[in-house]
Amino acid sequence: MHIQFSQSRPQGARLIAHVVDKGKLPAATNAAMRAGAQAARFKGNAGQTFDGFVEEAGEVARLALAGAGDRNDEARFANLEKAGAALAGKYQSSGDKNLVLDLSESDLSAVEVAHVLLGLRLRNWRYDVYRTKMKDDQKITLEGVTVVGAPHGMEATWADGAALAEGVEFTRELVTEPANILYPESFVERCQERFEGTGAELIVLDEAEMEKLGMGSLLGVGQGSSRDSRILAIRWNGGGSEAPIAFVGKGVTFDTGGISIKPGPGMEDMKWDMGGAGAVAGGMLALVKRKAKANVVGVMGLVENMPDGNAQRPGDVVKSMSGQTIEILNTDAEGRLVLADALHWTQVEFKPSRIVDFATLTGAIIVSLGHEYAGLFSNDDKLSKDLAEAGEAVGDKVWRMPLDKAYDKLIDSPIADMKNIGGKGAGSITAAQFLQRFIADGTPWAHIDIAGMAWSEKQGRTWDKGATGYGVRLIDRLVADTAES
């Protein structure tokens, strides 16, 4: 979506929108619109919309009102995003190509307007690449927004918002793509295309290089696939000589479960088992595009988990890059095996100050938290607090779950250093305990289980059904709050 700024309405504007606080209508609203809004019980609640037609200078235009809720609401920014998203949702396929956001009577600040535009742009995103037979009234027509009467400094403020939107959209694109199109090699290629010319450094490890490094844990997951596995690192040096913050993502581009094969119904959803890697890629793109003043590295472990004659078996023992051995009891507990080597390599290669990993790791976290919060596990109270505050601020919410040595005995193996699953209970916790064994002593680390957040079966604040882009805004806000001066 193209967003531009102007001091006057474009000639022939057919769709004009105002964002209004609860209980307030623009002073110039005519009597018919006021009566209509009252009859429709439009009060300006967050995300509420009303429209009608007005005649100006002999031309008829549609006038839309979007509610931003109470001006003093603690969720002010979220409500402004809802207002923008409501406009996109209502007029996305209306036949209008451009929406005029008229701020001439508004006292919104540049930051507040940026949240409206962010909600509008993100909600207007839809991936129709493979849809060839849509009716005209189903197709997206809304292509741009012209902002009239924007406050001072708006364009510079929106530049950061546009970078963030691009990162979220990139994550949604990656998560939405089918597994015959997006697999480890093509994931890397797509990132190479998107980061070209940005100043970021991309590092790619192929299977021969990973084997030389001893990444038996990650390589074991992908050995049943005809698609080669990859490690992709994206490094951005925007903060001098400081040690980088590292974000590590699970990138299982399709997960059949391997020999421990999943049930057929719903297996198509496993194209988004790379949601953690998608979040890291999009988060890095947002940071790079806005030229964040921080040193950051994003690492993605990319594999496909398939059950052919070369696939690893339950009962196999693999050796990780760290030297620790793992007994494979269930080949469908594969994400932690990928992350084990990715986390260890990240620490050896980049010596980060903090590490946060993102993974669609366990169905158990959905049982615990549903689709409202991601599960947060951490060895560091300060990092946990920073993540919780960042997530609350941008809507990528996390809820801290326990880590305790008492759970370690559940993953102790009689023949190796550990096994890759515990018992029937505490599945998300034992997965996190497993990952913690690959974190060097003294390194602040957090694991975020996003299994319930990467994909949604219902509309959300700024997304339609499908890929949410969860994690990008959390990454961006954490870096802005804790690593940038």
Tally of residues, the chain: 485
Is 262 one of the catalytic residues?
A: yes
The rounded distance, in Å, linking the Cα atoms of 304 and 181 is: 12
The rounded distance, in Å, linking the Cα atoms of 333 and 342 is: 16
The rounded distance, in Å, linking the Cα atoms of 434 and 439 is: 10
From residue 467, give the alpha-carbon distance in Å to each of 175, 361, 459, 471, 480.
6, 16, 10, 11, 24
Tell me what percent of the chain is helix, strand and coil, each rounded to the nearest 5.
35, 20, 40
The rounded distance, in Å, linking the Cα atoms of 316 and 18 is: 62
Among candidate residues 126, 250, 290, 336, the one labeled active-site is 336
Q: What is the DSSP string of 184-209?
A: HHHHHHHHHHHHTTSS-EEEEE-HHH
Buried-exposed string 215-243: b where 16+ CB fall within 10 A, e elsewhere: bbbbbbbbbbbebbbbbbbbbbebbeeee
Is 271 one of the catalytic residues?
A: no
The rounded distance, in Å, linking the Cα atoms of 307 and 246 is: 32
Beta strands 98-102 and 230-237: pairing type? unpaired
**What are the structure tokens assigned to 54, written together?**
């007005």
The rounded distance, in Å, linking the Cα atoms of 258 and 273 is: 13
Among candidate residues 190, 262, 291, 461, the one labeled active-site is 262
- The candidate with the shortest Cα–Cα distance to 329, out of 271, 412, 272, is 412
The rounded distance, in Å, linking the Cα atoms of 282 and 284 is: 5
**What are the structure tokens assigned to 16, written together?**
């004009």
The rounded distance, in Å, linking the Cα atoms of 125 and 300 is: 25
Active site residue ranges? 262, 336
